[in-house]
Structure 1
């Protein structure tokens, strides 16, 4: 994870020309914080579960086993309940914290709820117990769409 932090903290100098013709030099981050958190940080922290699932599927002639889905669902449940509980618990008494980017939070929370509904639909309604290729591809397409929506919320282009 430290390598990802080094990559995403890179900055570059830019020259800004003001309305009166005056120029000044400033630094800006190369990576957008929202995009880097949703892509690189998420991939870095979830890589073990993803690779475990891929290895299991490849080893079972592209049939899902018990380990991969259980690992991913278990990891999501752990992140949702235990990690959030620890984050709440460690705040010292009398202090408070707030969400820095509320718009981005609403977008990612909405996509998270959608992801669970979508998972239910493809596993229990559309093709019970089997993931069709079109379902897998559409699921894969949802991620970049989610990242674009979060970026738009971060740039205040949505609401």
Structure 2
């Protein structure tokens, strides 16, 4: 069944994001990491480092750099002091911060958090891999933004 979902997501991503190269690359990197996190509860987040550096350079001077720095500081606190999330979530959050607008980023986190809480309640578990939910929130908000923006014009 996972292969069917993978193909469906690939079709949606390819259809709506193909013209936006950064969104397309981000979608496939996040999909890979989401599937890996779901199955192994670990991710190889180091594959995102070169891409994040590229996004930092491309976004230099943009206010989202400040947002990315704040996200990184809060994430480091949550990982190393509170142990409330895994260290692999930091690069994923940075990628999401650098590829979304300031309006879409909080909505992405909101959708990811609500869907994760619903999953926790439904399946009666206490811990879960969060990258799949971050990917779901990012993909949902990115696709909605791609569909709604032309309609608003």
Q: TM-score when scaled to structure 2? A: 0.37
- Larger % of helix: which? 2
Which structure exhibits the higher relative contact order, with contacts defined as CA atoms closer than 8 Å and separated by 6 or more residues?
2
Report the TM-score, using the length of structure 1 for normalisation. 0.36
Q: Report the structure, 1 or 2, having the larger strand content.
A: 1
**Larger radius of gyration, structure 1 or 2?**
1
